[in-house]
Structure 1
Amino acid sequence: MRRYFFLPLTLPFLILLIFLLPILFILFAGTITLAFQKLGLPLPVAFTLFWASLIGSFINIPVKEIRSYGPIVRVAKVSFFGITYPVPYIDWGEQKTVVSVNVGGALVPLSVVLYEVLRLIVLEQNDLLIRVGVAVLISTIISKAFSRPVKGLGIAIPTFVPPLVAALLALTIGAPNRPLVAYTSGTMGVLIGADLLNWDKLKDLGAPMVSIGGAGTFDGIFLAGVIAVLLV
């Protein structure tokens, strides 16, 4: 009977996995910190932003509650000879969807973008500011075209489309500061194109909560900017 029972991971592989986790974490932290440094941020600030993103990924701030009416699944209890059976059925009722914003996956990258844009305004680098605006507009249109609502989950978009688009835009029109154009267009393209422009579809998702940037450091908003910067 032993051949029918086995551990999901063999002991050597489990030990190797435990050994590799710190290394993978260091590589992940170093990659994100490097991306922030390429934006011209000092190492202490870049490292602080990484930890803010990581810790903030556990924090969701509710901003709105959306109410809609539609078919919902309820469960009735039926007793038969003293045994209770759950019987699901379709009913029509009010659905509530709480829309929240994730600190690590949305607010941290948005704060970096706002800082960089304000810096361009203060330094009067209007030409670069216009390039950033054009790149964000193009990235937003493409992100909107590729984003799809997934019922019960949220708004989905192919992972590598936004960073590739942002990197291409940076290489073509971001000559004075390619990392800045890449990060800004990648981050804002997903935030505006995939999330904000699909706001009217959130009520049809059937999810009790939808979080913008909810996957934290693995969310499309966060990764689009970081990967795009690393590509340029």
Structure 2
Amino acid sequence: MSNSGRIIISNPFHPLMLVVYFVIFFPAFLIMPSVFSSLSFFIGLPQGISILIGLSMPMLSFVFSFMNIVIRRIRLEGFFYTIESRYVYFMGIPFPVYYPVYQRREIVIAINIGGAVIPITFSALLLARLYCMSSLYFIDALIVIAITSIITFLISRTVPNVGIATPSLIPPLISGISALAICGTNYIFPVAYVGGVLGSLIGADVLRLSKDFSKFTHQLGPVFLSIGGAGTFDGVFLSGIIAAIFAYIFT
């Protein structure tokens, strides 16, 4: 993990897990360009631009999934030892040198650009569009967000040294079913997406983290909490995509 002040560059997953996630969610990635194209067109963008956004969004989300914006740093009592490495070059050959470093304990709270900022921005634009079209559909979207948030909060768990863990398919499934039950087939696509993204975010990364935050203060060593930190494989990002797919299947 590379720390440059307000921006932290980190690898959100082990390379082996990258392969596992890709295999599991491969169908979702195939449909992703179509999902973002349809949502962009719903926002009011021209068809050509919507298609361009749909094609570029998966790659942009993946590239920016390594970048985290620091929101807050909380200093804790005590210090800890960690091992860092530097490279010493001899005849052009790099040799790693490991040495202990004495650091102060702290909690770093950040938000991932690819896994949170991009889907949240998209959701905000969709909510604004729904509000402009009909206040009723806007209220329906808020209800779906509330239902998904509550259920996500109830099923999420705090895992030390990991963060907030949530079953991947439950939030988008709840969002898709709620959108179908509340607004029928009218605008179910954007409502389900917004409910999946913001419901997962509020339920897990806001409510659950706020309730169990004290558990992280007792963790040894540094604590790095990133909202949407698994990038394109994060629950916030995937919940919107899968919820939209569920909505399409339901209709």
| TM tier relative to shorter chain | 0.7 to 0.9
C-alpha separation between the residues in 2 aligned to 1:156 and 1:25? 18
- How many Å apart are 1:27 and its aligned residue? 6.0
Task: Name stretches of at least 5 consecutive residues in structure 2 with no aligned partner.
Answer: 1-21, 42-49, 83-102
Alignment-derived partner of residue 135 in structure 1: 144
Report the counterpart of residue 30 of structure 2 in structure 1: 30
| Distance in structure 2 (CA, Å) of the matches to 1:23 and 1:97 | 33
Aligned mate of 1:46, from 54, 66, 74: 54
Match of 1:188 in 2: 198
Query: Using the alignment, how far apart are the partners of 2:27 and 2:198 within structure 1?
Result: 26
Contact (CA 8 Å) 2:37, 2:52: kept in 1 or not? no
Instruction: Number of aligned residue pairs: give it.
Output: 193
Normalised by the size of structure 1, how large is the TM-score?
0.74
Runs (5+) with no aligned partner, structure 1: 1-21, 76-92
1:118 maps to what in 2?
128
Report 1:65-214 matches (<5 A). 65-69=73-77, 95-123=105-133, 125-175=134-184, 176-200=186-210, 201-205=212-216, 206=219, 208-214=223-229
Report the counterpart of residue 6 of structure 1 in structure 2: none
Give the superposition deviation at 1:46.
1.6
SS at match of 2:66: coil
SS of the equivalent of 2:57 reads helix
Q: How big is the shift at 1:39? A: 2.5
Q: TM-score w.r.t. structure 2 length?
A: 0.69
Structure 1: how far apart are the matches of 2:146 and 2:24?
35
- The CA deviation at 1:25 is 10
C-alpha contact 1:66 1:203 (8 A) present in aligned 2: no
AA at the equivalent of 2:176: A
Residue type of the partner of 2:177?
A: L
Q: Distance in 1 between matches of 2:140 and 2:191?
A: 7
| Aligned alpha-carbon RMSD (Å) | 2.7
Q: Is the 8 A contact 1:57 1:104 kept in 2?
A: yes
SS of alignment partner, residue 63 of structure 1? strand
Task: Report the alpha carbon displacement of residue 164 of structure 1 after superposing the two structures with TM.
Answer: 0.9
Displacement of 1:115: 0.6
Distance in 2 separating the partners of 1:43 and 1:222: 19
- Give, in whole Å, the separation in 2 of the partners of 1:158 and 1:180: 22
Quickly say closer, same or farther: Cα 1:47–1:35, change in 2 above 3 A. Answer: same
1:59 alignment partner in structure 2: 67
Q: In the alignment, residue 102 of structure 1 is paired with which amino acid? A: N
Distance of 2:244 and 2:150 partners within structure 1 = 20
State the match for 2:8 in structure 1.
none
Query: Is the Cα contact below 8 Å between 1:154 and 1:202 reproduced in 2?
Result: no
Could you tell me whether the CA contact under 8 Å between 1:57 and 1:103 is conserved in 2? yes
Corresponding residue SS for 1:224: helix
Match of 1:218 among 233, 237, 245: 233
**C-alpha displacement at 1:166, in angstroms?**
0.8
Deviations 1:148-189 (A, max 9, x none): 110011011111110110111122113211111110111011
Change in Cα spacing, 1:186 to 1:23, as seen in structure 2 (3 Å) is closer
For 1:74 and 1:182, how far apart are their aligned partners in 2? 46
